[in-house]
Amino acid sequence: MHYIDIGIFALYMISMLGVGVYFSRRNKSHDDYYVGSRKMSSLHIGLSVVATDVGGGFSIGLGGLGFMIGLSGSWMLFTGIIGAWLSAVILIPRIYPIAKRNHFLSFPEVLNFFYNKHVALIAGVISLIGYIGFTSSQILAGAKLASATLPSLTITQAVLLMGVVIIGYTVLGGLKAVIYTDTVQWIILMVGLIFIGVPLGYIKVGGMEVIREYLPTGLLSFRNISAIQFINWIITIVPIWFVGMTLYQRVYASRDEKTAKRAWFFAGLFEWPVMAFMGTVLGLLGRIAFDQGMFTQFGYAPGSNIDQEIGLPLLLTHIFPVGLMGLLISSYFSAIMSTADSCLMAASGNLITDILGLTKKKNKSSILYSQIATLIIGVFAIVMAINMQNVLQLMLYSYAFMVSGMFIPVIGALFLKRPSSLAALVAMISGGTTTLTLIILKYQLPLGLDANFFGISISLVSFLLFQIFDKNSK
């Protein structure tokens, strides 16, 4: 990278820390720190939701789908618009009034309201473990991107760089810093890739005639995936919109119910078609560039083995001029950072609110507990990313446990007048354990269905059985 690009990247990182310092002086309570004073606008909330949900997955995974299966990869984020709009119509109208009246700060507090403290505590522990793992994995993903972009950086140095910046502005500024940095990060990313990346990539590979010549059959089609693949995406992604702590924090941060619903509709549209097509088109252009031999200088000659997920970063590295390259790399890092900071805030909220119960303190100095918790979790995530990368997978298993275990209890809370706490506990444990067992033991599943399908199914059956036979609901 040219020194001008490095300077732009360094300036960007410093500015992110500056945002944290700015908001640290304005946070006076847990409402300020964890839910943005409950006064955020739909634009900021919507962009932050997209940044959190797509984030690092976009920067690494969506381009890989475009590289491998072409435009059909965009259907993955179509499930995002389904999840966003369903939660806007079903979840937000039910949860927002209760959350505002009771000053909720976390997702497990919803479960405590509809069930009991035992359900909420288990949910808090599972969510904490899952989000620590997610924070670590995002820091590590950013470090690998930094190490590849700046060869002089080792993975350890890159982890420390990414971790210090992310933890710095998150610890200082709380959710306000996270949401405002998300907004800036995603405006930069979208403008850079839509108006610069796609046109330059299109020109560089030679236009539509060359694209048609080099592309394998089916990559310009929207039918290049199986029905089972689409079902698996729905099963994996849609439930996240109902159980993600990061998303509940943003519901609470909205100034009113109408703002929250508008933000979710807005986020859905940005996920699909905007982000979906931008990512897959660039990944597809990366595939053509690879087949043309543009990546030979990087050690990837046509026909050689290449990780599909590095096709897009290699393309952008190849086509962006000095100056714009620094802005692009900053945008790519922000995509990862926007997920990592949200996961860090979620883990901190779970620990302070749901496990330790420290948010009950109302004095002004009590916010210090939240900052200390965020710092400790962040440092732990960095240590894990450096020394215990094999443990990250175990942490991410808890995220799968969370999705398949908590989705049905949430649905029960939304639709039943007196949902059973015992049913919720059994559903959480049975559903999550089923998914976890199937993933770890690598069973060959019928029809190629995702493990979450069976976990959610077991959770549903368990919940219904105990709901029927439990005479002491709640």
Confidence band for 162, pLDDT divided at 50, 70 and 90: confident
pLDDT, residue 57, reads 59
| C-alpha dihedral sign at 308, 338, 436, 394 | positive
What DSSP state is assigned to residue 321?
P
Contacts of 451 (CB under 8 A, 6+ apart): 400, 404, 434, 435, 438, 439, 443, 445
Confidence band for 472, pLDDT divided at 50, 70 and 90: low
Confidence band for 440, pLDDT divided at 50, 70 and 90: confident
Average pLDDT over residues 401-430: 94
pLDDT, residue 309, reads 77
CA distance 369 to 352: 8
CA distance 175 to 38: 10
- Write the DSSP assignment of 402-440 as a string of letters: HHHHHHHHHHHHHH-SS--HHHHHHHHHHHHHHHHHHHH
pLDDT single digits (tens) 43-82: 999 999 988 877 665 556 788 899 999 999 999 999 999 9
Q: Which fold has domain 3-387?
A: Sodium/glucose cotransporter (1.20.1730)
In degrees, rounded to 5, the angle at the alpha carbon of residue 251 between the alpha carbons of residues 248 and 257 is 145
The amino acid that residue 316 corresponds to is L
pLDDT, residue 91, reads 97
CA distance 279 to 164: 28
Given a cut of 70, whether residue 3 has pLDDT beyond it is yes
Confidence band for 103, pLDDT divided at 50, 70 and 90: very high
Given a cut of 90, whether residue 247 has pLDDT beyond it is yes
Given a cut of 60, whether residue 39 has pLDDT beyond it is yes
pLDDT, residue 421, reads 95
Q: How do the domains of the chain map onto residue ranges?
A: 3-387
CA of 322: how far to CAs of 8, 192, 332, 416, in Å? 10, 14, 16, 58
Confidence band for 192, pLDDT divided at 50, 70 and 90: confident
Given a cut of 90, whether residue 281 has pLDDT beyond it is yes
pLDDT, residue 310, reads 79
Mean pLDDT, the chain, integer = 87
Report helix, strand or coil for 304. Answer: coil
CB burial of 372-386 (b: ≥16 within 10 Å; e: otherwise) equals ebbbebbeebbebbb
CA of 175: how far to CAs of 111, 164, 169, 395, in Å? 22, 17, 10, 23
Confidence band for 159, pLDDT divided at 50, 70 and 90: confident
What DSSP state is assigned to residue 61?
I
CA of 1: how far to CAs of 5, 341, 384, in Å? 6, 26, 29
Confidence band for 14, pLDDT divided at 50, 70 and 90: confident
Given a cut of 60, whether residue 328 has pLDDT beyond it is yes
pTM of the predicted protein model:
0.91
Tokens in use for 400?
């799968």
CA distance 130 to 108: 14
pLDDT, residue 196, reads 83
| 8 Å CB contact between 60 and 275 | no
pLDDT, residue 339, reads 84
Helix locations, 58-154, DSSP H = 63-69, 75-86, 92-102, 108-114, 117-149
pLDDT, residue 193, reads 80
Confidence band for 140, pLDDT divided at 50, 70 and 90: confident
| 8 Å CB contact between 327 and 9 | no
pLDDT, residue 190, reads 80
Given a cut of 90, whether residue 31 has pLDDT beyond it is no
What DSSP state is assigned to residue 36?
G
